[in-house]
Amino acid sequence: MKTAINKTMPSSAEGMSRVDGRLKVTGAAKYSAEYTPKGLTYGVLAGSTITKGNIIAIDTKAAERAPGVLAVITHLNAPKVPGDQPEKGKAADAKGALKVFYDDKIYYNGQPVAIVVADTFERALFAASLVKAQYKTEKHITSLPDNRDKGFPPRGEGTYKRGTEDAWKLAPFKVEQEYIVPTVTHNPMELHAIIANWDTDNKLTVWDKTQGVKDTQGDLAHLFKLPKENVQVHSQFVGGAFGSALRTWPHEVAAILAAKVVKRPVKVVLSRADMFTSVGYRPFTWQKIGIGATADGKLTGITHEAAGQTSSYENFTEGPTGVSQSLYACPNVNTKYHLVALDIATPTWMRGPGEATGAFALESALDELSYQLKLDPVELRLRNYAQTDPGSGKPFSSKFLNEAYQLGSDHIGWKDRKQEPGTVKQNGWYVGYGMGGGMFGAYRAGATIRAKFNADGTLLLQSAVSDIGPGTGTAMVLIAAEQLGIPAEKIRFELGDSSLPNAPTQGGSATTASVGSAVYKACADLKEKFQKLAGNGATNNPDYTKILKDSGLPSLEVVSETDGGNGMQKYAMNSWSVHFVKVLVNAATGVVKIDKVACVSDCGKVISPKTARSQVIGGAIGGLGMALMEESIIDHRYGRYINNNFADYHVPVNADIPQIDALFVNKPDPIINPMGAKGMAEIALIGMAAAVANAVYNASGKRVRDLPITPDKVMA
């Protein structure tokens, strides 16, 4: 079951709308929970009510007797997951992903202890409430600040040293401060969902919310010991993910097990509360920055320590100290990163993973240093501009961050900023300006495209890539239209199906660079084939339909594959950003109001300006949420989230969002791929939280280092 998206509106390089826009706004786009295979049943998870311990008894009789219930599955009766079993003669892995219904151990509050399957969702939901477990509890720990002394270095990411350790301490001007990024939960509009069906005993079909259908196919084939071709994954549309759908989670395995038991399709849709415990989150991270400079603003040393939380059963790392190693020219840098294992579910990547967390600390500390030096924050960054990669010494494939500084400062009205905090006031509100920069690796992976040019002048492109919302299909159509010189409305892009040609998971801001390179090559291969068909009649502007007609062919097809390129062996490849923010801070209440935002991206050539602007605005809004309101709060007495809903977990809404202007340097990168495009999704958020915090200080004189920036902290 494949979905093709095609251009239906007038196209131009500057104004082309999303190729799937009409499907989405009319409701024709089908998401994973909206399919209705014959015999569909409904599964609801029952979660642990304790945080650590063991199940000593579980009573499912009332649930089993409830109307419409087909099965109640626990660790006592669940089918074995072959991939979860230790290999013969080998011990089980000491740490790894949670094995659902594997044994009686409880690792976190809300861990699935049962799945109830019924003929309607409402009946399954009611019956799940009847499952009662008895536990032997153990003392749990869920607070990172209270347990930082239990930290340990992750393998390969613990320490880094360049030059002299702690050199910042000898500088005439220096700052040392601690910064907190709390747990932040993915809360996309679309809840995570899966429909699982065993077509035969060894053939599985799933409709799943995933950022990578090929990776999900591989995971499920491994877990259930099936040939890859016997696992079919559909994920045509994804309603936002931000990183939460980058891996296979326990609820997906639970649905597949349930489908095997009831021998019918089973749908599992997580509740909003489940989203806080089942699909990862940005981990709570403590950081300390020591940074020093000479009187003229040249950095002499940076020390960056960080401790991030992980689960007790799996080590998750995101490397928040990396930005301090690479963002600025500094001869002496040392970093240390520790993990703290807590009785919580495993974190995962969240938009701008690592860099977003680290940039909040680094860019806040640099701003604090600028006030000591009485130096404009932009000028301080320019005086420490890295012309080559500070860590590796490699040249950058491209870097125009200095131009981004100029674009953003001009656009926001930076000249109106006063260096002295709390000196500008209008209508009872203090006015302040802040900025923060960011970087993220520019990546490219291998991909394959099947391209079929038909005699009616239409082109079909096929790829297994997912599209979680950035407009991947639109970018691919634009690349093909430009390369072949045909109207965009003649092109369809088919995606989100594991039976289609290989594509990487959509993550790490690498999709356009990766899949776009394969589209580019497919178009070149098609043109070469057409030229051979045309022979001596070949021209620079061929009539493809005429060539097919003259050749008596209904279509021409190629399957084109590209690798990840070898540029990273010789060059350091990054995308860069800078965010400028104007804020208003209420003098009486401490309320922070965002007045204006200018986001500038140095991300190579912009392929699809309209969707690129939308993507940057979305990332900026995520950064504003991170700065001002998002925080998942645990009652540590019970190890349980207390704001696991949309009433108490605050995200930015329309009333919170000001004018956001997305600006682009828009200069092609000559190395990374033939289009010259680099990723922009991550840098749209990285640095934004610091920009807001720095603006709040400039407005009010109050430095908030513990996110989110709430009125009580401003007034403290």
Angle (CA) 413 414 416, round 5°: 75
- On whether the CB atoms of residues 696 and 715 are closer than 8 A, the answer is no
Amino acid 9: pLDDT: 33
Amino acid 567: pLDDT: 78
Amino acid 13: pLDDT: 44
Amino acid 402: pLDDT: 98
pLDDT, tens only, 414-432: 999 999 999 999 999 999 9
C-alpha atoms less than 13 angstroms from C-alpha of 196 in its C-beta half-sphere: 27
Confidence of residue 94 (pLDDT cuts 50, 70, 90): low
DSSP string, 667-714: ---TTT-TT-B---TTTTTTTHHHHHHHHHHHHHS----BSS--HHHH
What region, left, alpha or beta, does residue 581 occupy, with left being phi > 0 and alpha being psi -120 to 50 degrees?
beta
pLDDT of 317 strictly over 50: yes
pLDDT of 35 strictly over 90: yes
- b or e along 639-661 (b: 16 or more beta carbons within 10 Å of the residue's beta carbon)? bbbebbeeeebbebeeeeeeebb
Instruction: Compute the distance between CA of residue 157 and CA of residue 438 in angstroms, rounded to an integer.
Output: 20
Mean pLDDT for the stretch of residues 394-406:
98
Confidence of residue 6 (pLDDT cuts 50, 70, 90): very low
Query: Which ranges of 155-283 does DSSP label H, i.e. alpha helix?
Result: 213-223, 250-262, 275-278
- Catalytic residue numbers read 682
Mean pLDDT for the stretch of residues 204-216:
98
Positive or negative, the CA dihedral 47, 49, 54, 58 is: negative
- How does the average pLDDT of the chain come out, rounded? 95
pLDDT of 11 strictly over 90: no
Tokens standing for 299? Answer: 């950095």
Amino acid 91: pLDDT: 60
Mean pLDDT for the stretch of residues 185-200:
97
pLDDT of 363 strictly over 70: yes
Structural domains in the chain? 3-30+445-564 (3.30.365.10), 41-138+196-238+245-278 (3.90.1170.50), 285-443+569-715 (3.30.365.10)
Mean pLDDT for the stretch of residues 295-300:
98
pLDDT of 525 strictly over 60: yes
Mean pLDDT for the stretch of residues 603-615:
96
pLDDT of 387 strictly over 80: yes
pLDDT of 538 strictly over 80: no
Closest CA to 710 of 623, 630, 619, 620: 630
Q: How many CB atoms lie within 10 A of CB 501?
A: 22
pLDDT, tens only, 221-269: 999 999 999 999 999 999 999 999 999 999 999 999 999 999 999 999 9
Amino acid 14: pLDDT: 61
